[in-house]
Amino acid sequence: MSRPSRLVLLGHPVSHSFSPGMQNAALIAADIPVRYSAQDVAPEDLKETLLTLANEGAAGNITIPHKEAAARVMSRLTPLAERIGAINTFYVSADGVLVGDNTDVAGFQELVTSVLGTIPVGARFDVVGAGGAAAAVLAAIQGWEGCTATIYARNENRAAALARRFSDVASAKSMTGVKQLVGDIVVNATPVGLNGDEMPVRPDSLARDSVVLDLICKADETAWVRSAREDGHVASDGFPMLLGQGAAAFEIWFGIQPDREAMWRDLRQQRQEM
């Protein structure tokens, strides 16, 4: 693929994103004369926007709520993106077609290792959510020895369908009447908590020694992460995942590894300023 003409993050909403600052810090550090910007795109405009960007030779990222819909617009998906059924990264290939990839798997692995220090073996995961982010989490878990997952979602049919796609490691349970989550690691893979202090599950429903991972990034963390930590849980928000998936996307676009420290510096500065 040729160097992208520009980089764009597509989402709805998208103004809250830390990605433009992080990626521009990496671009400046690498002396690459391309800039990254955020673009709010309504669902009905997604296909036309992606096709326009492809004609311009642009590349970029996809975030909530477009990850699954964007995958259906691509001319080609990488094997990993096809398995997940969602993308978070796109680019124009050397033969001129729109390609979708998924670096959320690498990002989730970075989040887990940043918290645990290693890839878990034989861990039980409780995954709240059944969308594209949850599918990426399951794809990561699928590659870890002896790990299994239970999917909890408000849409029980969607959760069951996702569990069937990852049936070797996943099963689905109804959120209705759940009094306690028993997983060693509990993951919020929904947007719940991005705006306001709503929580995906009650903190008192967590097992005493469970690790709490929230894929959401907020300057002051989510209420769920703060509450879980106050209750004695090891807990982290999604910033390590944001860095991991962003670094992997940068490498796809430019064929080189970005300056991760420059990216971290920008993320820390953005959090302090908000």
Beta bridge partners of 149: 125, 170
What is the residue-wise DSSP string for 121-144?
A: SS-EEEEE--SHHHHHHHHHHHTS
Q: Are 130 and 153 in contact (CB under 8 A)?
A: yes
Q: Could you tell me which residues are beta bridge partners of residue 92?
A: 98
| Catalytic choice (67, 173, 179, 218) | 67
Task: State the maximum Cα–Cα separation within the chain, in Å, rounded to a whole number.
Answer: 54
Instruction: Work out the number of other CB atoms within 10 angstroms of the CB of residue 65.
Output: 15
> Known catalytic residue: 67?
yes
Total residues found in the chain within this entry:
274
CA distances from 229 to 69, 114, 200, 225 (A): 35, 16, 15, 6
**For 225, what's the count of Cα atoms within 13 Å in the CB-facing half-sphere?**
20
Give the residue numbers annotated as catalytic, written as ranges. Answer: 67
